[in-house]
Amino acid sequence: MSQKLKGKVCIVTGGGHGFGEAMARRFAEEGARVVIADINPTTGSKVALEINGLHGEKTALFQEANVTSQASWAKLLEASLKEFGKVDVVVNNAGTTYPKKASHTVTEEEYDKVIGVNMKSIFLSVAVVVPYFLEQKAGTILNISSVGGIRVKNGLVWYGGTKAFVNKITEGLASEYGHSGIRVNAICPILGYTDLAQSFMGVDDTPENRAKFEASFPRGEALKLNTSTGYVANAAVYLCSDDAAFVSGICLPVDGAATVFAAGGMCNISF
């Protein structure tokens, strides 16, 4: 590997599965030390253990975290600094959704959860971590958004609204803190084959339905070669590396051209 992140310490929320796990593993391959923050201690600690087995002890740390709690964020930063002495990158990856359905049938509990995990978590990360970044006069924030925040899909309107929020605050934070050495970017992935795939599709996550999805946009066949989690991890390495020192305030679609191809949603498919 090219060691693009050598010497950097990266916090990845939701690092125990899906996009977060893929990023944590790639960051370690690129020379970073990684703090895997996840609400699930079983999956999070397993990923950290496997990374340490591949790249040596003290490469990865697992920290149980609830991203909707400011106290939990404070403990996460404290544990990261105690273990590695600094923090260079925070990846706000933790996210959730509800099963795809008519917007008026979404429950208040489902709405509150998606708002808390997808929006409040980033607010809290800024409240806790940005003062530290200001003190060291450098830092990188990467928010994992969604193409659903660019083109809101029927049945996932409230979810899409949270991701549109992520896109706009990414731009605003990049502008506000750019003179202080802080970069802020976002990645907007298309559907990842994670534990949330069925909720996003609104149908069973089967090989047949995946094939329909992959056939619905120009580069869909690429998902057969490398899942979107891998593509997101590759983009994250670049945006968190010094190669992207002049890149801030962007919301990068990683979607096989689905956003520009589909006029009315995340992809030109109706299940």
- Cβ contact 18:195 at 8 Å: yes
- Cβ contact 38:121 at 8 Å: no
pTM of the entire structure? 0.89
pLDDT at residue 179, as a whole number: 98
Provide the β-strand partners of residue 10: 34, 89
pLDDT at residue 173, as a whole number: 99
**What CATH number does the domain located at 9-199+228-254 have?**
3.40.50.720
User: What's the CA gap between 254 and 246, in Å, rounded?
Assistant: 20
pLDDT in tens, the chain (271 residues): 689 999 999 999 999 999 999 999 999 999 999 999 999 999 999 999 999 999 999 999 999 999 999 999 999 999 999 999 999 999 999 999 998 899 999 999 999 999 999 999 999 999 999 999 999 999 999 999 999 899 888 899 999 999 999 999 999 999 999 999 999 999 999 866 566 555 555 566 666 766 666 665 555 555 554 456 788 999 999 999 999 999 999 999 998 777 776 544 444 444 3
Name the token pair of 84.
Answer: 């590695």
- Cβ contact 139:195 at 8 Å: no
Q: Give catalytic residues, as residue numbers.
A: 159
